[in-house]
């Protein structure tokens, strides 16, 4: 009966689900769009390989620094407001990255790291709070959305740069469309009842003492490291092996699209299984194998 009511709640809150999907669409593409056009960015900004490497490294460092503080923020500010502020920050960051000059570009990159870190931490918690009995389905939906838009970000980045005289700037600013749409749907959520104190000390203590929680945390940490490493360096690695920039973007898109079936189904399976160790083992083995192949010198193995 509870699941039936929750399914009806999911259906009756279509705009909220669309809002969650649109927020998810802003959390990956602004990063995956960089790799295939990094050479254009280097030439325009007049930076060397070392400085260019910081463009993809800075967001990863920001994630590690900011993420622990976001969960503390949720005890004081409603999650809907945090996500709204994150979207506004993403919009400003995207504009700064294309406004011209090295300093605005890197300031925008730092701001983008902060905004995406806020979204990465807050969106799953908000989805669980809104749909506690359908968390598997809603997690599958927004996770698949992130992979889909991450793939599109890499795949269309180079073609978009060739469409207008703006070049790579058009590729980077293109994703502001999704941010604006997400904001339009998300603003009404900030008017709902404010929920501040989400999952306090009692549950936190239980989580810290749980071996499974630590296993999941370590798995997610490794997954995040793998994802962002691939996003940051995969196109550059392919280009260094002689693959054209446009095709490097397409291969990144294929990489992300290949994850869609598991991204959508695994959260649903995990919700139904009493013991998720098998799923975690499968994920770790596949990720370790794929990540290891990045160090090979054979182009076919990289692909």
Say which CATH number the domain at 157 has: 1.20.1250.20
Q: Are 120 and 67 in contact (CB under 8 A)?
A: yes
Calpha distance 96→110 (Å, rounded): 10
Give pLDDT tens digits for 154-211.
Answer: 888 989 999 989 999 999 999 999 999 999 988 887 776 544 444 443 444 444 455 6
Q: To the nearest whole number, what is the mean pLDDT of the chain? A: 79
Structural domain tally of the chain? 1
Handedness of CA 266, 268, 269, 272 (dihedral sign): positive
Give pLDDT tens digits for 284-300.
Answer: 787 777 767 767 666 65
Cβ-Cβ contacts under 8 Å for 251 (sequence gap 6 or more): 234, 235, 238, 243, 303
User: How much is the pTM?
Assistant: 0.79
Give pLDDT tens digits for 249-272.
Answer: 788 778 777 777 777 777 677 667
Calpha distance 109→31 (Å, rounded): 9
Total Cβ atoms within 10 A of residue 18: 13
Q: Which domain holds residue 214?
A: 2-192+201-302
Q: Are 58 and 232 in contact (CB under 8 A)?
A: no
């Amino acid at each position: 009966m509870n699941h039936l009511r929750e399914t009806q709640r999911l259906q009756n809150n279509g705009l909220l689900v669309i809002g969650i999907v649109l927020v998810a669409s802003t959390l990956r593409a602004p990063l995956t769009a960089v790799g295939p056009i990094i050479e254009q960015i280097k030439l325009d900004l007049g930076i060397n390989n070392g400085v260019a490497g910081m463009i993809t490294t800075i967001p990863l460092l920001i994630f590690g620094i900011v993420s622990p503080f976001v969960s503390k923020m949720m005890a004081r500010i409603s999650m809907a407001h945090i996500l709204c502020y994150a979207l506004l920050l993403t919009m400003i960051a995207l504009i700064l990255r294309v406004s011209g000059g090295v300093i605005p570009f890197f300031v925008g990159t730092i701001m983008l790291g902060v905004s995406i870190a806020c979204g990465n931490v807050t969106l799953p918690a908000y989805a669980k709070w809104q749909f506690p009995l359908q968390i598997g389905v809603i997690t599958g939906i927004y996770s698949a959305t992130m992979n889909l838009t991450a793939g599109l970000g890499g795949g269309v980045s180079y073609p978009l740069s060739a469409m207008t005289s703006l070049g790579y700037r058009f590729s980077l600013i293109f994703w502001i469309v999704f941010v604006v749409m997400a904001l339009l749907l998300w603003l009404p959520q900030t008017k709902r009842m404010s929920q501040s104190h989400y999952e306090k000390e009692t549950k936190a203590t239980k989580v810290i003492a749980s071996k499974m929680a630590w296993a999941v945390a370590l798995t997610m940490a490794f997954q995040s490291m793998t994802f962002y490493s691939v996003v940051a360096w995969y196109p550059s690695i392919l280009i260094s092996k002689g693959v054209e920039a446009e095709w490097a973007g397409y291969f990144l898109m294929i990489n992300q699209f290949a994850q869609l079936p598991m991204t959508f189904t695994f959260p649903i399976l995990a919700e139904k299984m009493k013991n998720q160790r098998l799923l975690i083992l499968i994920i770790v083995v596949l990720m370790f194998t794929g990540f290891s192949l990045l160090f090979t010198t054979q182009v076919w193995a990289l692909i």
